[in-house]
Structure 1
Amino acid sequence: MRSVTSVAAALVLVSVALGSDSTAHPAVAAPAGSAVVREQLATGVVYEAFTVPTARGSARVHVVTADLERPGVAAGLLYPGAVAARKTVSRMGEEAGAVAAINGDFFDMTEGQHPGVPATGAASGPSVLNGRPLKAAVPVGQRFGRTEPLGDADEDVFGVGVDGRARMDRLVLHGRIRTPQGELVLGGLNQYALPVDSIGAFTAQWGEVSRARAACGTDDDRAAPCTGDTYEVTIRHGRIATVSDAPGTGPVDPDTTVLLGREAGARALRGLAPGTPAAVDYRLASSSPVPFAFALGAYPLIRDHRPLPGLDDVTAEPRAAIGIADGGHTLRLLSTDGRSGTSTGLTLGELAGVLHSLDCAQASQLDGGGSATIATRAPVTGRAVVRNNLHHDQERPVPNGIAIFSARR
């Protein structure tokens, strides 16, 4: 992989020497002779910026390193309050009291693609908040940002377990709908796109946006027309309360679950009349016995210290990524400058090369382009300050992100 090798060869590891309260890990890779900006944001949390040479010019890179083994240092999910909602990284980080924050998963941007059906702004992959599932993954053909060979695994995530260690994994939805007529398989949870012939559940975490987008496209084609074969039932207090032939809109009450079926899923739901007993059970299962405290969708770039083969070596874009080092105890949040500045951005191969040079054993790509944003808390005002040069100098609202917290300054 030419760009991984060339970028890594142009970098040299430099150790951080910020005193006994700073992170003890080698924190940044910088070009030989290049100035490195370093700031200690809090105990165990360091911000650094440096320039990476590429064949097209230079790319400005911003990295926040967090030592999760330090008392009081933790990572969490930035969340705008609903799955189908968006806020800027700086606003979410400031509201959460984060020391640093970065944008997260790719999300639904299908405005105008399906006439009369609004885009939801919801994230593509699974997510977990405070140990509880927020949403499951849309079908792989409905995901945004999918670039070969990153992905046939639409359930890929980055997260931190309840043990405090970061990891990459997959989160697969397992769910069922229990009725007097038998069990039905649950095929989706708070998703902007449901698999063909499936039934999806929408909870109070979905938000107020119309659920119509969930019946548009197919498992392989995001732009395919919406199906007219839908059926929606509302479960309240363990019984079917209402039914409808069309997807609804507006908030879902906390004691309510809305089931939306398309094609075969719609036909199955039509057998449930108002008053019928019904219950929904679901979970997001991973390969580890350790549950996630939080997780969000992210595309793998590095596994077991090795950049994945076949990463794109041509297209340079503003990038955002998350890296894992020291057995899951160290996180690196990375973002590049946007297209409006002098920075060239990075190809995926180059991005993996930089993360590899930062000693990341595992790494995942987050949403990039106009979404790539990294912010840190100002020491005096406590306000969140965006550190990278943004695309068109505007901060794009996003559906989630990763926050770094520290109880000690």
Structure 2
Amino acid sequence: MSRVRVAAVVLLVSLLFCAAPTTQAAPQRGAGATERVAPGIEYRAFTLPTAHGPIRIHVLTVDLHHPGVRAGLLYAGAVADRAPVSVMADRQGAVAAVNGDFFDITEEQHPGVTATGAASGAAVFAGRPLKAAVPDAQRFGGSLPPGDSGEDVFGVGTDGRARIARLSLLGQLRTPHATLPVRGLNQYALPEGSIGLFTPQWGSTSRARAVCGTDHDRGAPCTHDTFEVTIRHGRVTGTSTGAGQGPIPPGTLVVLGREGGAQALRSLAPGTPVDVDYRLASTSPVPFTFALGAYPLLRDHQPLPGLDAVTTNPRTAVGIAHHGHVLRLIATDGRESTATGLTLAELADVLRDLDCAEGAYVDGGASTTLVTRDPTTGHATVRNTLDQGLERRVPNGIALYSRRDRS
């Protein structure tokens, strides 16, 4: 048993984190005190000794079974848009939130191409598909742990239970002469030779990044073999030889092809009828009400094999307990604190010692942010120590809501 896990077991058991949320206690403040953020939602912080220094860990424990409590996608308003977690939480009326998926933050390898800010993984918002996952080699956040996929997500199903699953895009364009597969939905990177859809939810950011890189090399040059088609009310209304930008009007779809996908789209002249169909196929037994990219660390109470035990960073993670009825959102302090963070192996140990059966990590480093609503001001307040003391703009996160938060 690792040093971090020994320390975690002793500390976490003593703090009784393994129990389901207790919502009867009045809010308390101070080191180690449990605060009631809202009925069914609690916050607590503790210091964990590690081999590389003590690390402060912040935990939101959520009883999804509690009346009026739900979790949802924190969302900047467009796929290719970003905002601080506290700002998004206030906009959406959340009582607490954490940051979400890794995202397209820089394009230093592609001069002249603007980083989109879009998340890497799939996302579901209010029960509807928002975006699909980019090819694994194109995602941010480094290599995935063995067995993980860029299509892995965390979310809550229509049955009110939290779960980890995979979301794969299934789509097609049907024209009078052919049926063309769709392999992209509001993605900052399309697979080689493919066709991708962009909906009004993409936003106004340029779509040029979508044809850069390859399925094996994020830094590979952008292709010039591209073609874009605009579809409105089921008919082609315009074409272009390059990826465009600007808002996509309601009722309109933009279809972008690269290489072989571009060649297929060149046969579509203005006025051509096109039927578009797409969905995110899930390994979950029930549909998601919301989901976002998250990468598994823990399954059946056991850390997954091959997790990095060397690299430390500030971390954000999600844990699932009590058969999906209890959710734990975890954020560590940033690099300005006494330690540099946790390794993925240590993070998995912490999730297990919080009595989580399943667990996954999302974006960390300077993105790691956990907020709760301040009962005095009514605004979201950051609880963890941020990297360089600044709140990074991110594309999405996990929001917590309570209809009885003022009771």
Q: Is the shorter-chain TM-score for this pair beyond 0.5, marking a shared fold?
A: yes
Report the CA distance between 1:203 and its aligned residue.
Answer: 0.3
Would the aligned equivalents of 1:51 and 1:60 in 2 still touch at CA under 8 Å? yes
Matched, 1:91 2:111: no
What's the offset of the Cα at 1:344? 3.0
Q: 1:281 to 1:65 in 2, by over 3 A?
A: same
Describe the SS at the equivalent of 1:323: strand
Which deviations, in whole Å up to 9, do the C-alpha atoms of 1:93-122 show, x marking residues without a partner?
Answer: 111111110000000023332111100000
What is the CA distance between 1:21 and its match in structure 2? 3.5
Q: Map of 1:385-396 to 2, 5 A cutoff?
A: 385-396=381-392
- 2: distance between equivalents of 1:341 and 1:20? 30
Of 333, 338, 342, which aligns to 2:329?
333
Contact 1:89-1:375 at 8 Å conserved across structures? yes
What is the match of residue 30 of structure 1? none
Task: Report what 1:11 is aligned to.
Answer: 11
Taking the TM superposition and a 5 Å limit, the aligned residue runs for 1:28-47 are 36-47=32-43
Tell me if structure 2 keeps the 8 A contact 1:74–1:405.
yes
Q: Displacement of 1:37 after TM fit?
A: 2.9
Partner of 1:160: 156
**What residue is the counterpart of 2:403 in the other structure?**
407
Secondary structure of residue in 2 paired with 1:11:
helix
Deviation of 1:152 after TM superposition, in Å, equals 4.7
Answer yes or no: is the 8 Å Cα contact 1:58–1:344 preserved in 2: no
- Provide, for residues 16-48 of structure 1, a one-character-per-residue CA deviation record: whole Å limited to 9, x for no partner: 79997349xxxxxxxxxx951321111111100
Q: What is the correspondence of 1:202-241 to structure 2 with a 5 Å cutoff?
A: 202-241=198-237
Give the alignment of 1:8-407 within 5 angstroms.
8-13=8-13, 14-15=15-16, 21-22=23-24, 36-150=32-146, 152-407=148-403
Per the TM alignment, residue 15 of structure 1 is displaced from its structure 2 partner at its CA by 2.8
- Any gaps of 5 or more consecutive residues in structure 2? none
SS at match of 2:355: coil
Q: Kindly tell me the number of residue pairs found equivalent between the two proteins.
A: 399
Deviation at 1:151, TM superposition (A): 5.3
Cα separation, 2, equivalents of 1:186 and 1:203: 13
Label 1:100 to 1:192 Cα distance change in 2 as closer, same or farther (>3 A): same
Contact 2:21 2:63 in 1 (8 A): no
For the 8 Å contact 2:21–2:62, the answer to whether it is kept is no
Mapped contact 2:146–2:305 kept (Cα < 8 A): no
* Residue 250 of structure 1: how far off its partner (Å): 0.3
Inter-partner Cα distance in structure 2 for 1:131 and 1:139:
23
Q: TM-score, normalised by structure 1?
A: 0.94
Task: Provide closer, same or farther for how the CA distance between residues 144 and 151 of structure 1 changes in structure 2, counting only shifts above 3 A.
Answer: farther
Q: Is the 8 A contact 1:8 1:356 kept in 2?
A: no
Q: Provide the identity percentage.
A: 63
Q: Normalising by the residue count of structure 2, what TM-score does the alignment of the two structures yield?
A: 0.95
* Alpha-carbon distance between aligned partners in 2 of 1:403 and 1:366, rounded to the nearest angstrom: 14
Change in 2 beyond 3 A, CA 1:117/1:392: same
Aligned Cα root-mean-square deviation (Å): 1.8
When residues 121 and 344 of structure 1 are mapped into structure 2, their CA distance, relative to the original with a 3 A threshold, is same
CA distance in 2, matches of 1:145, 1:372: 13
Cα shift at 1:237: 1.3
